[in-house]
Amino acid sequence: MQLKGSAALVTGASRGLGAALAAELARRGARVVAVAREAGTLEPVVARIREAGFEAHALVADQGDKDAVYPLVGAATALVGPIDLLVLNASTLGPLPLRDLADTECEDFASVLEVNLLGPFRLTKAIVGSMVVRGSGLVVGLSSDAAVNGYPGWGAYGVSKAGLDHLFRTWAAELEGSGVRFLSIDPGEMDTRMHSDAMPEADRSLLADPAQVAARMVRILEAAVPPPSGSRLELPGLESAA
Amino acid sequence: MNSLAPAVWPAEDRALARLLVVNPTRGTFRDALVSDLESLLRPHDLLVLNDAATLPGSLVGWSPRGPLEARLAGPPSDEGLWPAVLFGAGSWRERTEDRRPPPRLEIADRIQLEAPGPESGLAAEVVSVSSLSPRLVELRFDREGARLWRALFRVGRPVQYSYLRAPLPLWHVQTAFAGRPLAAEMPSAGRVLRVPLLRALRKKGVAIATVTHAAGLSSTGDPALDAALPLPELSLIPETAVAAVDEAKGRGGRVVAVGTTVVRALEGAFREGRLRPGANRTDLRIGPGFRPRVVAGLLTGLHEPGESHYELLQAFAPRPLLESAIAYARDGGYLGHEFGDSSLILAE
């Protein structure tokens, strides 16, 4: 897609991959709305993008909160116009340290699904009609290795990401031919706070830099021949894709 | 006179909403469902939507001269000034025309708005008071950009309707295809058009285009001001809409406006023989005798004599036909008002 002049909304933009994607999209000419729960961490990210001469706006919202969805979409659209690119990056691991399913509270499981699966569904639903009517749009979901493999301790998170992948396949099937595309991307292991929360003992030198991952992702979004709608890309296995 | 019973809550299954089809060519009308639009519209017809989202424009607060409600009447000017109509304190259960008048505000008065939660509330200053009515003012908020929009969506709620059974949340006043929040009240005709129906229409060869029209308030509680409605409203007509209109007309299709706002937007932007793209402010009033240049017909709610929308319909169908159709709808239990049933008034 053509990023220059496009309107992009990125969730989970206060740190890690989300912050890097917001910056990279803005650098490529998109008008970016950066969304996160905490103003204190989000606003410096947006301030840095603006200082570099690009466009970004900070909106504080919790995507797990149903009542927050329409206010978020309304404010975002007021700031940058109808959304062309929706990046559903925000997600939660649930209570830390990670724990086995047998030790997971039902309420904690539900709140992981609320943030990682229902939040993206609601946000997409509030935006996709405008994309369909305009005949174009791209929705990107951040998936994970845990969506396809059953790793001990990653139950709630893995189920939410497997659900997100399936949600995207279904949206893609339903809206085939509409001009609106859906992509799930597994970015691989990155040196982020989420990673250190999940695996504090990991060797950080083996983890990818989120800024480099964001740059690769954005090259894929801009590719002249885009991946088919509904596909799931594993970034670590795509060394030559971009 | 009898009038249509109002729909007291938004219906969930909108494809099954009732549609009264009025055919001015034959002078007939008949029952249908919204889902029947698939057979009622033809390839090369063009459906034009108003994609303005609804502002959370009802703001409750205090002024130095007393409590009030400010209803945003449209988007801000380029200078960041928001038109607003003021009301006295009251509840959404009271009809607009029964609401207490607002305290008489003066330039430089400050309104402090109620805000739930711990964040500091939004405030606004009165910058001008209209000569039409002291209720019509321009406001400047104490912040701008993302901070203002965040605060507006936290503090404001959509304009409410006293005949509904509960207060309306924001999602019930957004169409499935809403874009920029510019409308003071919901462009309600498009509410029945869901994504699967729009896609089915497109597959059949019906074209769909959007304009953005900043629909204003339907009622202000002040007879002098109500008589001046609609105030000039902003329309954004994209090049794609102009091209779609040209294409439909070139192929013998009919341009069908979804809602009276789209009629005003398109007819208001028709100048010197053609539809003009871009931003346009229109104070066009459409009624009997008006000759539409762009629009062949419209999908709208059910409007009764006495409403300004009813005047507009007479540009598309003769009054006796509209009178028989509305009497039929009333007897047949069609529902009226913002969340009621629909009608299609379209020549063959």
pLDDT at position B116 is 62
Could you list the residue range(s) of the whole structural domain that residue B89 is in?
58-155
* Residue appearing with tokens 């007393």: B66
pLDDT at position B230 is 85
CATH classification at residue B130 = 2.40.10
Q: Are B68 and B79 in contact (CB under 8 A)?
A: no
pLDDT at position B11 is 82
**Among candidate residues B104, B123, B155, the one where a domain is terminated:** B155
CA-nearest of B247, B259, B248 to B52 is: B259
pLDDT at position B117 is 59
pLDDT tens per residue across span B90-148: 888 888 888 899 999 999 999 999 866 555 689 999 999 999 999 999 999 999 999 99
The whole-angstrom distance between A66's CA and the closest CA on chain B is 10
- Asked if this assembly's ipTM is beyond 0.90, the reply is yes
**Are residues B40 and B73 both part of a single domain?**
no
Tell me whether residue B41 is in a domain.
yes
Residue B269 neighbours by CB under 8 Å, 6+ apart: B235, B237, B275, B276, B277, B280, B282
**Are residues B113 and B18 both part of a single domain?**
no
Token pair of A235, please? Answer: 């970034």
Tell me whether residue B162 is in a domain.
no
Give the confidence band of A111 by pLDDT, cuts at 50, 70, 90. very high
- Asked whether the beta carbons of residue B178 and residue A129 sit closer than 8 angstroms, the reply is yes
**Are residues B114 and B221 both part of a single domain?**
no
User: What one-letter code names the amino acid at B293?
Assistant: R
**Are residues B44 and B63 both part of a single domain?**
no
DSSP letters along B55-119, please? P--EEEEEETTEEEEEEE-SPPPTTSPEEEEEEES--TTS-GGGSPPPP---TT-EEEEP-SSSS
**Coil, strand or helix at B196:** helix
Tell me whether residue A1 is in a domain.
no
User: What one-letter code names the amino acid at B324?
Assistant: S
The number of helices, as runs of H, and strands, as runs of E, in chain A is 8, 7
Tell me whether residue A138 is in a domain.
yes
The whole-angstrom distance between B153's CA and the closest CA on chain A is 5
Could you list the residue range(s) of the whole structural domain that residue A88 is in?
7-237
**Among candidate residues B113, B131, B155, the one where a domain is terminated:** B155
Q: Which of A152-156, B111-115, B199-203, B282-286 has the lowest mean pLDDT?
A: B111-115
**Are residues B217 and B299 both part of a single domain?**
yes
Tell me whether residue B161 is in a domain.
no
**Are residues B215 and B324 both part of a single domain?**
yes
**Are residues B50 and B115 both part of a single domain?**
no
Domain count, chain A: 1
Query: If interface means Cβ-Cβ distance under 8 Å, which residues of chain B face chain A?
Result: 49, 51, 53, 55-56, 145-146, 149-150, 152-154, 169-171, 174-181, 194-195, 198-199, 208, 210
Tell me whether residue A79 is in a domain.
yes
**Are residues B216 and B190 both part of a single domain?**
yes
Q: Is the pLDDT of residue B1 over 60?
A: no
Tell me whether residue A184 is in a domain.
yes
Between A60 and B231, residue with greater pLDDT: A60
Q: How many angstroms from the chain centroid is the CA of residue B220?
A: 14
* Residue appearing with tokens 């994609």: B51
pLDDT tens per residue across span B77-88: 999 999 999 999
Tell me whether residue A225 is in a domain.
yes
Residue B15 neighbours by CB under 8 Å, 6+ apart: B33, B34, B35, B192, B194, B196, B197
CATH classification at residue A224 = 3.40.50.720
pLDDT tens per residue across span A142-168: 999 999 999 999 999 999 999 999 999
pLDDT tens per residue across span A162-206: 999 999 999 999 999 999 999 999 999 999 999 999 999 999 999
Q: Which helix (H) or strand (E) holds A40?
A: helix A39-51
Give the confidence band of A102 by pLDDT, cuts at 50, 70, 90. very high
- Quickly list H helices, chain B: 37-40, 145-155, 195-204, 223-227, 239-250, 260-268, 308-313, 319-331
Q: Is the pLDDT of residue A39 over 50?
A: yes
Tell me whether residue B160 is in a domain.
no
Average of per-residue pLDDT across B301-307: 88
**Are residues B192 and B294 both part of a single domain?**
yes
Write the residue in A57, A58, A133 that is nearest to B49 by C-beta. A133
Write the residue in A79, A129, A132 that is nearest to B149 by C-beta. A79
Give the chain A residue nearest B194 (alpha carbons).
A129
CATH classification at residue B233 = 3.40.1780.10
Q: Which of A194-198, B261-265, B294-298, B304-308 has the lowest mean pLDDT?
A: B304-308
**Are residues B92 and B130 both part of a single domain?**
yes
Residue tagged active-site, from A91, A143, A184, A229: A143
Tell me whether residue B135 is in a domain.
yes
Q: How many angstroms from the chain centroid is the CA of residue A133?
A: 23
**Are residues B274 and B328 both part of a single domain?**
yes
Q: How many angstroms from the chain centroid is the CA of residue B74?
A: 11
Tell me whether residue A242 is in a domain.
no
**Are residues B309 and B221 both part of a single domain?**
yes
pLDDT at position B120 is 67
| pTM of the predicted protein model | 0.95
Query: Bridge partners of A234?
Result: A186
Domain count, chain B: 2
